[in-house]
Structure 1
């Protein structure tokens, strides 16, 4: 009885395995074909706005220094003080420069006496023409040296070159400074033109032209916007910030309430027209502000993943500035199931 049961079980197992083997052979292996929808691509003309930020300044900021080195005797102003044109801001200790000026004056007096003596001797045929000419040259040299000493004496003080404000004080009383060492920085905030100095990327720099219109604002004056123009763009990158510098000049009457160093924002409206591809927002993958990815197809059979540059996002669509050149169709649905090279079927 036991042997008969075992034989029946072996027969059943053989039949089951044979059936499984036959089922496996009859199921063909097929690749997944993903249904998608596509959109033909077409370029549109685009005037792209440039948003940037920076600090306010004026076009007449000036760093003041002494022409000659010496010890600072007095500094009459502090940072933030209002100054008027011609006002004395700082002075050097004049002892050394006065001594040099006195030496130059005495040397001039001696050269003048020597020249007059040489003239008299030449008339009496005692001195030669060469001696007279040498005395004249020495007198001319002494006169120029005396003039230079007098000029240096005038520049033992710093005077304001415009009416405005003291922005920075670099040195203090009693400090020894050399010729040209910065002492004070001023601007003509009451007269000069206000600028917003900003930094832009290389792509933005290429779009902007001098004379492009802009709107400037600052949190210090909420609710106000000031018309402006791009007045200058740098021709080289700033190695400190890694950006290109652009100066935006506020047009019209300078707004009250601005101060040098305030943070400001600007929207620049480039006149240069660029081309862009408008695509549905849902077609963009892995967007990070300036870049993203989309799936495209050239043969309606295979998906291809490409990297694109984003110009801007508006009204539930994304404007692509580059990356879709020579692409026929964009895949706008089913992208979540695709990989680069996936087989597709157009719905």
Structure 2
């Protein structure tokens, strides 16, 4: 019996070698997936800014001199007409006294010449000269009084002192900035718009403003773009814009950080577009394409037309539809018909 098994064993081994070994299953590549959603041509962009006063005034003396007293501090609220600082009035007071003396002398001369003219002792032209001298002396005396009053710096508006640019003992000239005053009233948010978005932001565009530090939690207000600077900042190459809003909330203070959402008109002339990540675009020469994920998780390359490239993504205006799934990363490593395992890649905000 052992002899029979000895001869049958080679036959069993040969028959086993003739059968094909099944191939291992092909590896499934995991990829990031993006679901296309409907996106209007008007986009919303977020900007950071600072709450500022609608009217900001630089205060200065109307005459020069040495500052003898400063009566306000930064952050102090002042009422209209309040004295903020004083100059040394010595020279101005002497000038005012001299002008008054000249005024009294000219007045006496004019009255005496009027009496002489009535008696016929002087001509009319001599009286006219004295009257002209009296008017000049009166004007000079009035100017001296004004110059003495100018040694006190008063504010014309109610507001908050935001900066002090000169201190006691400093000699200032007429018109030299001494204080910055933020007037009470309207508030605005100052933001910086980059060159790439300048043509999409227009005066009057609606805005949503969020001031996170105001009160309890975030404080949301509605506003609009009031003005856009015509010239870019030399350092940042951005354009300053002011977004006006109305609020009676006292907790919205000057200098607070604010976030502004602006609705900007799309630069591509299309009513509807689809925004996708820039990493989802597969460039074939001059033709752009995306990898579309089919129902069975295989992929196919779909040519598309790009309406605009932006920082937050590309706007596809032709070639895809809302709801389709596309590969959002690693597009240059894929092949047509390949089966993939889609994962969440996240939609751009």
Alignment TM-score > 0.5, same fold: yes
> Take 1:345 and 1:295, find their aligned partners in 2: how far apart are those partners?
17
Tell whether 2:192 aligns with 1:199: yes
Aligned to 1:235, what secondary structure does the other structure show?
coil
- Partner residue of 1:131 out of 126, 135, 139: 126
- Which residue of structure 2 aligns with residue 236 of structure 1? 231
Residue 274 of structure 2 is matched in structure 1 by 278
1:70 aligns with 2:65: yes
1:164–1:186 CA contact under 8 A, matched in 2: yes
CA distance in 2, matches of 1:166, 1:136: 48
Match of 2:207 among 195, 201, 214: 214
Q: CA deviation at 1:44?
A: 7.8
Check whether the contact 1:194–1:254 (CA below 8 A) recurs between aligned residues: no
TM-score by length of 2: 0.68
1:97 alignment partner, one of 79, 86, 92? 92
- Per-residue CA distance 1:180-232 (angstroms, 9 max, x = gap): 111222223xx311111111023422222222111112342342212111111
How far is the alpha carbon of 1:173 from its aligned partner?
1.2
Distance 2:212 2:39 in 1: 35
Q: Secondary structure at the match of 2:197?
A: helix
Change in CA separation of 1:328 and 1:284 when aligned onto 2, cut-off 3 Å: closer
Q: Per the alignment, do residues 275 and 147 of structure 1 end up closer, same or farther by CA in structure 2, a change over 3 Å counting?
A: same
Distance in 1 (alpha carbons) for counterparts of 2:228 and 2:261? 15
Give the SS at the match of 1:205: helix
Contact 1:47 1:274 in 2 (8 A): no
> Normalising to structure 1: TM-score of the pair?
0.68
How far residue 337 of structure 1 moved from its aligned partner, in angstroms, is 6.5
What's the C-alpha RMSD, in Å, of the aligned pairs? 3.6
Match of 1:161 in 2: 156
Alignment deviations for residues 57-79 of structure 1 (CA, whole Å, 9 cap, x no partner): 10122221111111111111111
Kept after mapping to 2: 8 A contact 1:45/1:275 = no
The CA deviation at 1:99 is 1.0
- 1:254 shift after superposition: 3.3
Q: Which runs of 5+ in 1 are unaligned?
A: 1-42, 286-292, 339-343
- C-alpha distance 216-236 of structure 1, shift in aligned 2 (>3 A): same
Equivalent pair of 1:56/1:261 in contact (CA under 8 Å): yes
CA distance in 1, matches of 2:148, 2:192: 43
Please list every run of at least 4 consecutive aligned residues from structure 1 whose deviation after the TM superposition is greater than 3 angstroms: 270-277, 279-283, 293-298, 332-335, 344-347
Question: For the residues of structure 2 that align with 1:183 and 1:122, how far apart are their CA atoms?
Answer: 54
Contact 1:283 1:294 in 2 (8 A): no
Q: For residues 111-146 of structure 1, what are the alpha-carbon distances to aligned partners after superposition, in whole Å with 9 as ceiling and x for unaligned?
A: 112222222333333322322222111111111111
Q: Give unpaired runs (5+ residues) of structure 2.
A: 1-37, 289-302, 321-325, 339-349
